[in-house]
């Protein structure tokens, strides 16, 4: 009994000691952060992540803009510079070797330069208002619809003379009727006319007479069909086999061609230097491109002319 009492007393004393120890502990004070240091506290992790993302996006956008600018600069740098169309000077050395010939004015704004082949569609748009050297495109069947072509406009006998066009009746290939040029132009309003005239009359017409008759013809076309595109073509060269050689020479023809080019400049029209496509080194038409009469191009010569027309094209026709 006495032993139990001692154990109980010891237990009570142990509890008292434990309680006194707990009461003697002091809580550590919570630190107070001064207001001026609050701005230096790092933002929460989520805001830091957003800031990093924003900075990354900004850098990416900046890099993208830089790449775009670089690509634009590269594209600009790689664009080929515009070049002036090349003037066809194939016969220049022939003119230099034959001073009796009037050379082509290669600086003329009316001279049609070399172009890509404008193709069959371009060729099919042409109406040739012509005398006999070009007329032979028709019987040779070298144009659209062959011998039924509507592209050759000339006199009933296959030719006409520049000096006698007023009131002159041409053969209308659409119905076989005879009409004056103004009447035919007003009726059919051709889209694209190439005037290929001059060999008939060049022997007796001076520059003033030639120019007056030629410009009268242009005026009639423009008056009766204002939207018709007009191109002037040179007179072709001849050979010494031509029976009228002497009264007509290539010196006479090149002088006439210089008048036609001046008319083209006066009217703001284009000029085809087909003479230079047929001329040979002797200052005459190439014999292999001409008929035996020395005046009319043969089939090969006419093909050279058509090829020249297509590769010295007038882009306005195709718009």
Can you give the CATH number for the domain in which 277 is found?
Answer: 3.40.50.1110
- In-domain check, residue 73: no
- In-domain check, residue 211: yes
- In-domain check, residue 310: yes
Position 50 pLDDT exceeds 50: no
Q: How confident is the model at residue 39 (pLDDT cuts 50, 70, 90)?
A: very low
Q: How confident is the model at residue 312 (pLDDT cuts 50, 70, 90)?
A: very high
Position 268 pLDDT exceeds 90: yes
- 282-318 burial, b at 16+ Cβ within 10 Å, e below that, comes to ebbbbeebbeeebbbbbeebbebbeebbbebbbeebe
- Lowest-confidence segment of 77-86, 96-105, 114-123 by average pLDDT: 77-86
- In-domain check, residue 264: yes
Q: How confident is the model at residue 71 (pLDDT cuts 50, 70, 90)?
A: low
**pTM for this structure?**
0.76
- In-domain check, residue 26: no
Enclosing domain of residue 191: 110-318
Whether the Cβ atoms of residue 162 and residue 200 lie closer than 8 Å to each other: yes
pLDDT value for 12:
63
- In-domain check, residue 155: yes
pLDDT value for 40:
37
Q: How confident is the model at residue 83 (pLDDT cuts 50, 70, 90)?
A: confident
- In-domain check, residue 47: no
Whether the Cβ atoms of residue 127 and residue 163 lie closer than 8 Å to each other: no
Position 231 pLDDT exceeds 70: yes
- Domain tally, the chain: 1
pLDDT 10s digits, 165-213 = 999 999 999 999 999 999 999 999 999 999 999 999 999 999 999 999 9
Position 109 pLDDT exceeds 80: yes
pLDDT value for 293:
97
| Percent of the residues in the chain that have a pLDDT greater than 90, as a whole number | 74
**Strands 169-171, 178-180: parallel, antiparallel or unpaired by DSSP?**
antiparallel
First to last CA, the chain: 132
- In-domain check, residue 23: no
Once rounded to an integer, what is the mean pLDDT over residues 261-282? 98
Q: How confident is the model at residue 84 (pLDDT cuts 50, 70, 90)?
A: confident
- Lowest-confidence segment of 52-56, 209-213, 250-254, 277-281 by average pLDDT: 52-56
Q: Is the dihedral of CA 14, 15, 20, 23 positive or negative?
A: positive
pLDDT value for 200:
95
């Amino acid at each position: 009994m006495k032993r139990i009492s001692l154990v109980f007393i010891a237990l009570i004393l142990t509890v008292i000691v434990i309680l006194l120890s707990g009461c003697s502990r002091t809580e550590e004070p919570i630190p107070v952060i001064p207001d001026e240091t609050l701005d230096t506290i790092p933002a929460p992790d989520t805001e830091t992540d957003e800031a990093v993302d924003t900075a990354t996006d900004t850098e990416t956008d900046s890099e993208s803009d830089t790449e775009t600018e670089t690509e634009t600069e590269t594209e600009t740098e790689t664009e080929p510079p515009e070049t002036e169309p090349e003037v066809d000077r194939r016969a220049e050395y022939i003119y230099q070797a034959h001073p009796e010939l009037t050379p082509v004015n290669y600086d003329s704004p009316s001279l049609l330069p070399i172009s890509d082949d404008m193709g069959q569609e371009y060729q099919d748009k042409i109406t040739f208002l012509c005398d006999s050297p070009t007329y032979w495109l028709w019987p040779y069947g070298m144009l659209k619809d062959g011998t039924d072509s509507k592209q050759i406009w000339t006199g009933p006998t296959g030719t006409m003379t520049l000096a006698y066009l007023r009131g002159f009746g041409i053969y209308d290939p659409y119905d076989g009727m005879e009409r004056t040029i103004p009447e035919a132009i007003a009726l059919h309003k051709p889209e694209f006319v190439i005037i290929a005239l001059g060999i008939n009359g060049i022997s007796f017409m001076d520059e003033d007479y030639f120019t007056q008759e030629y410009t009268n013809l242009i005026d009639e076309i423009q008056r009766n069909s204002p939207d018709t595109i007009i191109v002037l073509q040179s007179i072709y060269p001849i050979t010494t086999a031509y029976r009228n050689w002497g009264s007509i020479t290539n010196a006479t023809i090149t002088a006439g061609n210089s008048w036609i080019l001046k008319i083209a400049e006066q009217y703001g029209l284009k000029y085809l230097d087909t003479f230079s496509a047929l001329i040979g080194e002797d200052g005459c038409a190439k014999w292999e491109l001409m008929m035996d009469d020395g005046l009319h191009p043969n089939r090969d010569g006419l093909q050279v002319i058509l090829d020249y027309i297509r590769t010295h094209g007038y882009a306005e026709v195709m718009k």
